[in-house]
Structure 1
Amino acid sequence: MELKHIDIANLSVSSANMRGVAKKPDLINILPSVRARGILVPLIVRPGAEDGGYEIVAGKRRYHAALAVAEEQDGIDPLPCAVMEAGDDAAALEASLIENIARLDPDEVNRCEGFTRLVREGRSVEAIGLTFGLTSLQVKRTLAIGNLLPRIRNLYRAEKIDVVTMRHLTLASKAQQREWLALVDCPEKHAPTGAQLKAWLFGGSAIEAKVALFDLADYKGEIISDLFGEDRYFAIADDFWTAQMMAVEDKADAYREAGWSGIVVMERGAYFNSWEHDRCPKKKGGKVFVSVSHRGEIAFHEGFITMKEARQRAKGEPGADTSKPMRPEVSAALGNYIDLHRHAAVRASLLSEPGVALRMMVAHAIVGSPLWRVDVEKQRAASDAIAESVEVSASEVAFDVKRREVLALLGFDPETPTVVGGYDGDHGVAGLFVRLAALSDGDVMSILPVVMGETLAVGSAEVDMLGQLLGTDMRTSWQDDAVLPDLIRDKPLLTAIVGEVAGADVAEANAGATAKVQRGILVDCLTGSHGREKVEGWLPRWFAFPPTGYTERGGIGCVERSERIALLFVPAEAEEEPEMREAA
């Protein structure tokens, strides 16, 4: 470093200063000394972006004290400074940290932020520890504070939680942190702190059912319900862990089949720390790390290798944790040769057996396979009122009747909610295929519409495509005089709909009325109440195929999707619709 005196006008606080730029420092215990003797300890600075300017890396309090004295005394002598080389942000940050930690330990959140910036600048945990005289464990503990949600860090800074509580919360997942904050916000509940918080985090044997990776319907153990809440718990923790770890192994096998080079299941309670791992994609040998919390939560971290392995790879050394697999009977190339030829032969055999192919397709759609993932449309509703209006509609009732017929035809449990995923027999796809092989072509064809209907995505272009192709008329299935009017809150939209239902004169006369009044008029017209004539067969424009809107504002999902597929319905194709339906 070069020692020199620099005019205070040429100095400014660097962004690398650990105490920040915006916050004004406390000068109570330093200002009297600066008034009496000036600046004795040099500031640590580096050349700034402007010619002749310097950024203060360490010495922000001395600088502000000098500014105060300069204002009181109408000037001050140039300040003694130690000038660093330009451009090394990590070195500058280290200098700032060292000086501040030596003078007065900053709070742990500030120290964490400083260490985190050093890591981003390329400093390793070990190097940070050597620089500041800390063990690697101490550095890691400080970095762990960065895993806390910002609000928790702010609670600590505001001294609303103690340091023990803050440290225990570094052991919590983000979900646990949010759950703890919810307890803080609830006046009727107590948020655990200190030693109680640690016990709460580990959860004892009270493991919630929602953390299970496996299907609860297949769980043979006992699950206890909270009669005064919505949560359920596993009665015997050992039974849960047996089922949970089997599900983890199944998931690990799926990752292996997908081409991941390694699956690392971490010890229960061990935390996955991102600063101890390096990003690495699957095609370059990245692994999947599986963290298992004491509360049963499982997290899959895809595409990482340890920092040790990353350093070994950078040096061209073989990874120490790469295990050598036992040599199988056939090589990968030979196995691929065998599988491809078997596949080609069976595929050719299917060409002359469309009935077999049809049944195999239905079995795949219902059960699923590595290449077939068919999800049931959940029909999630924004409110209970919307859900009920759909459930009692004529369309949904008709579909449910047909679904029950198919369940009986396939020999499924009659209480099974859906055909897709409803097969609980042995041997998966092959087991269901045997059942389908015993059915006639007509019976198999009757299953297809239900399977397709259950897996038809809500809000998709396919709904609009089929609605137009099949000539769906919602007047035969939709009727609602309660839920829909209550959902329409926009005044211009309400006015347009009232005009369509009650007439332009009524709409114009009530244009200035409240939305509640206009909704009342709409309901009266649909029900024939309060002296208004009942309007029969009205269908909102959104329910037509193709749909349209009432205003020029747009933002109607079904209209936008219908417009995107409009080019598919050219006149020549429209004439072929009966043949298309027949083919379907």
Structure 2
Amino acid sequence: MESDYAVMVKRRLALGNLMPRIRTAYRKGEIDAETVRHLTLASKAQQKDWLALFADPEQYAPRGFQLKQWLFGGQSIPTSAALFPVEDYPGQIVADLFGEDAYFADADLFWQKQNEAIAAKRDALLEAGWAEVVVLEPGQYFHSWEHEKTPKTKGGKVFIAVSHRGEVEVHEGWLSRKEVRRAAKKAASADADGDATEAATVARPEATKAMQNYLDLHRHAVVRLALVAHPGVALRLMVAHAVASSGHWQVEPEPQQAGSDAIAESVANSPAQQAFDAERQAVLALLDRPDYHHSVTQPGYDAYPTAVVFAKLLALSDDDVLRIAACVMAETMAAGSAVVEAVGNHLGVDAGQHWQPDDAFFDMIRDKAVLNAMLAEVAGKRCADANVAEKAKTQKKIIRDCLDGANGRAKVEGWLPGWLAFPVRAYTENGSLKTADEWARVRNLFDAA
């Protein structure tokens, strides 16, 4: 505890750091003690700016708490909020000589260091065996009444809450009430079946339904384009469909039903879709068939059209027949199926040759953990860690800046998200991704091949 003498010395030093006009106004009672205290945090330039406002009757000179906000650009962050060692902060720390308060002068630099410390905390918790660590956005509160305490062994999560002032709170061992009910229902079902009940992490979809629809259609587009270039594979696949009567072998084309106008526009403008449409027109010309339905395959019940096509095929070369067969197989292959995954992986499809990230792709990403993992791919783990608590909008902006080479960031060429790669790569260990599930069903068939 400081002596009265030491406190008096600090106050005199603080007042001595103020410009004479401020000290005079304080002695005359024109400025209150709280305002003077905050002015001891100001640089000489800031004191001059404040005095200009104070002297102008038409301007408002901020006082008290508003003055502290004015001095720190609207965000005064005390050193007590740091999750990292304060000595690791390379910027200036401003101390109030009237008291014990100290603040980070550079809020952006503080948040960079704080986010890196939060990311390290997250990684340590995951290594400690927690199923999931959720980093909330700054200012987003953790409401315990909406959750139930759940131990690590039963799939409990950790929530890291960050205030606008930088304070960090770690809430270990919680699940939302909805997740608890879902887990209880699953356990009851297992008991009813006579199976041993084990604690299991509640899986949540890694991608939204809209994103899954987007991925299914884009993956379908690039795989069937690849199929056109491999008629031998397409012919064998066609025979398999005929034997097993699976997918769209009725016969009808894949409808490519988009869940929104944005997805429909994205797929229609994709290079893979446009290249396939051009090949389809060439095949229609070979068959001398009009493009009534924008497809080579046109379902019907009358045998006469089939006989007409058969007669035409008899007059064509083997190469032309194989070309038509490949196009028909590609056209009837079901989007979002294990068949797309099997063909794409067998042919080593590189979706990056026919796809570029567009607005529809970024607009549908909802999972922040996924987004942070993508940021690590394009900008490196350090950048991702430094922005782990930032809003999704901010992280998306950094990714796009890296891809475009904008705002001083080095341009990243050829980035392909794991969701569109063959084989597909998920971004979270405990999340579910329909595409990955489809590939898992058939992967062993091709690993041995």
What band does the TM-score fall into relative to the shorter chain?
A: 0.3 to 0.5
TM-score by length of 2: 0.43
TM-score by length of 1: 0.34
Please identify the structure whose Cα radius of gyration is greater: 1
**Higher relative contact order (Cα pairs below 8 Å, separated by 6+ residues):** 2
